[in-house]
Structure 1
Amino acid sequence: MDSHSPTSAAPPAAAETARYTYSPRLRWQPEVEEYFNTAYGRDHFARISEALAHPSCYSCIRVNTLKSSTDAVMHKLLDLVCKNELSAVINGLEVVELNGGDQSQEGCSLVHKCPYAGLENVLFVQGSGPHVLHYGSQPDQAVKEVVVSRKCAESVLRGAQVYVPGVLACSSHVEKGDKVAVSVAIEQPVKEDGWAVGITRGTVLQGLQSDAHYEERKGLYIGQGTAAMSRSAIFRVPHGIAVEMTERVYKLPSFNDVLEGEIFLQNLPSVVTARVLDPQSGERILDMCAAPGGKTTAIAILMRDEGEVVALDRSHNKIVMVFHGLLQ
């Protein structure tokens, strides 16, 4: 993944706006790009690449039908939205409950049912983005920044905070309470024909164009927040929130502790996988790559809790994740 490069010098205000805009593009190996250009056509493949570089603007929720129903969960989510307990991070969206699938009403439906047959236990929660965020730095003040890993950035764009293990680099002199810009490290090609981030955890960011990691913050900015601890603490402690996000380029609600046990946040392809398997009551199912447990629990629910699911993964920590999912 790469960032767009400006073609000419821009005024300071415009340069800052461009820097703090989420504007990535995918960079393919030449032979792979040529293959897909031939298969899809250059214009079509360019649109596919553009879409793949941006996260989804909705969250997919699977309802635990052993504990609740899709309609009941939908009404609970709408109630939370109306009380501003779920939609605080979503701007400009009007909540409309759809009747009979009619989407002609004004406004944007924030919560709606999956329209595909066989997926009646799935709900979509709408978000928004990308948004242009202004850091608001002063000419005589250095911008304080944090660079995070790709997996951390994916979670942030889905509504999570920045946790300590996901931080790779940070500006010097960052203290608790400071405003920081958050960007994601770019994976770059390396000599061994592979890809690597090329940034060592604990790197000090200089904030200058001469900094080796300047481009990573320039084109893959994901938001801004408040440092929950100092730079020294971020690289000293093993756990905890490093940055509490206040603005994101993509705004989606966080479902942490929301209707726990009644809903599971899960990507639609994973939901479809369990449905296509079509597990039946009394069967014995082997899930060989089970963490974090989404498909494992989906299979168990489809079996109506009658049968056996053997969940395996490669590490103890991953199995613990599955166990916590099952406890819900």
Structure 2
Amino acid sequence: MDKDFEVLRKLSNSLGEKEVEEIIEALRRPPERYYLRVNTIKSSVKEVLSCLREEGIRAKRDEKLSEAIWMKVEGPNEIEISGEEKEVVADKFAAESVYQGSNLYAPGVIKSKRVNPGDEVIIKAPNGVIVGKGVARMSSREMLVRKNGIAVETKQSVYLIPKIRETRAYLDGKIYPQSLPSMISSLALDPSPGERILDMCSSPGGKATHIAQITNNKSEIIALDVRNSRIRKLKENISRMGAKVRVIKMDARNSQILGKFDKVILDPPCSALGVRPKLFETKNEKEIEVLSRYQYSLARVIPKVLKRGGEAVYCTCTLTLEENEKIVEKLTELGLEVIEHEPFLGDKGIGEYHFSDRVQRFYPNRLPVPGFFIAKLRC
């Protein structure tokens, strides 16, 4: 069997081989829509649409979520190749960013020979796929030793997303790039002003700042993460968005010391098999097993930190049963009840679980979104 997307092909037992192949093909492309959340703490949808239009970016209101806007992703585009260009190879994650129009930064370069500043270069992924073309801003040696800076300025890419992080609206904290399912996970939590809310694995802060927005900065939100770099990014986004969130550097498995909460959200580290685009995917069953064990070590804390009658959302940006329904099943064995949630725009869960009709899956071949999973539970 082809090792590319091997783990996802196991879903053929539940979804059928044709459906799984359609999912994999969709994962190879970015979503047709690039979503942003408008930060209503600082602005309004109308104002943000106007600000973006002034910078030449056309965005539209989402049909379902009042705080969501989106832009059409351009592509696929043909890369013009003369044969005279030099080559630079980027790592998987950098290549997937260039594929959508981002510049290539030095830490993402894994191979470069005889390139000088000003040279035209073709940018390739490790599997040889051409993702873009641009102009070198560093020599080969600089690309391979520098820890920051633009190595190649991208001029052509297979797909193109506007450089949102350079806009005034982004810099002023009026928008946050966030997928539709990720926004839905915070809405599903249904947070209210005055509640005590825990975000167990918070960085970069999309859900914590969204919860602050939903409650108009009138809830007590505690956001946890473990690494300094992630804490730094979390604090930057909270500050930019004007959100009232308390950040604590802590392993969420120890969060019982923080007392009880009305609401908890857990978006744990996962295989990210739903993230788009993916030029290739080589994760294996052993890696999924290790991740699943870690996810459960975090999830099993939920009933210990929730107040009686409190509610939690468990969500991931992946599609495996091991990281989704099987974790939820273990949580029901700990006494948590799976309950209905809204908005429900995706599909029901898979597998023969008593709660399958109450969990939500997003498939990238059915909607212009990444693969995603959401479950809501009550203590």
Relative to the length of structure 1, the TM-score reads 0.67
Looking at structure 2, the residues matched to 289 and 301 of structure 1 have their Cα atoms a distance apart, in angstroms, of 18
More RCO (CA 8 Å, sep 6+): 1
Looking at structure 1, the residues matched to 143 and 216 of structure 2 have their Cα atoms a distance apart, in angstroms, of 44
SS class of match (2:49): helix
Q: Does 1:39 align with 2:14?
A: yes
From 263, 268, 272, the equivalent of 2:180 is 268
Residue 154 (structure 1) aligns with: 96
Residue 61 (structure 1) aligns with: 36
Looking at structure 2, the residues matched to 231 and 317 of structure 1 have their Cα atoms a distance apart, in angstroms, of 27
Residue 27 (structure 1) aligns with: 4
**Which 5+ residue runs of structure 1 have no aligned equivalent?**
3-25, 87-109, 186-215
Cα shift at 1:75: 2.0
Deviations 1:139-164 (A, max 9, x none): xxxx4111212222333344421111
**1:281 aligned partner, one-letter code:** P
SS class of match (1:246): strand
Equivalences, count = 236
Residue 289 (structure 1) aligns with: 201
Residue 83 (structure 2) aligns with: 137
SS class of match (1:181): strand
Q: CA RMSD in A?
A: 1.9
**1:319 aligned partner, one-letter code:** I
Sort the Cα spacing of 1:314 and 1:154 in 2 relative to 1 into closer, same or farther, 3 A: farther
Q: Does 1:124 align with 2:98?
A: no
Q: Does 1:111 align with 2:59?
A: yes
Residue 350 (structure 2) aligns with: none
Residue 179 (structure 1) aligns with: 120
SS class of match (1:235): helix
Aligned ranges 1:221-232 → 2 under 5 Å: 221-232=130-141
Deviations 1:233-259 (A, max 9, x none): 112221111111000100111112311
**8 Å contact from structure 1 (residues 158, 252) kept in 2:** yes
Looking at structure 2, the residues matched to 325 and 41 of structure 1 have their Cα atoms a distance apart, in angstroms, of 41
Residue 299 (structure 1) aligns with: 211
Relative to the length of structure 2, the TM-score reads 0.59
**2:220 aligned partner, one-letter code:** E
Sort the Cα spacing of 1:233 and 1:28 in 2 relative to 1 into closer, same or farther, 3 A: closer
From 40, 48, 65, the equivalent of 1:73 is 48
Runs of 4+ in structure 1 off by over 4 angstroms are none
Sort the Cα spacing of 1:299 and 1:159 in 2 relative to 1 into closer, same or farther, 3 A: farther
SS class of match (1:46): helix
Q: Does 1:308 align with 2:308?
A: no
Looking at structure 2, the residues matched to 121 and 251 of structure 1 have their Cα atoms a distance apart, in angstroms, of 23
Residue 255 (structure 1) aligns with: 164
Residue 277 (structure 1) aligns with: 189
SS class of match (2:102): coil
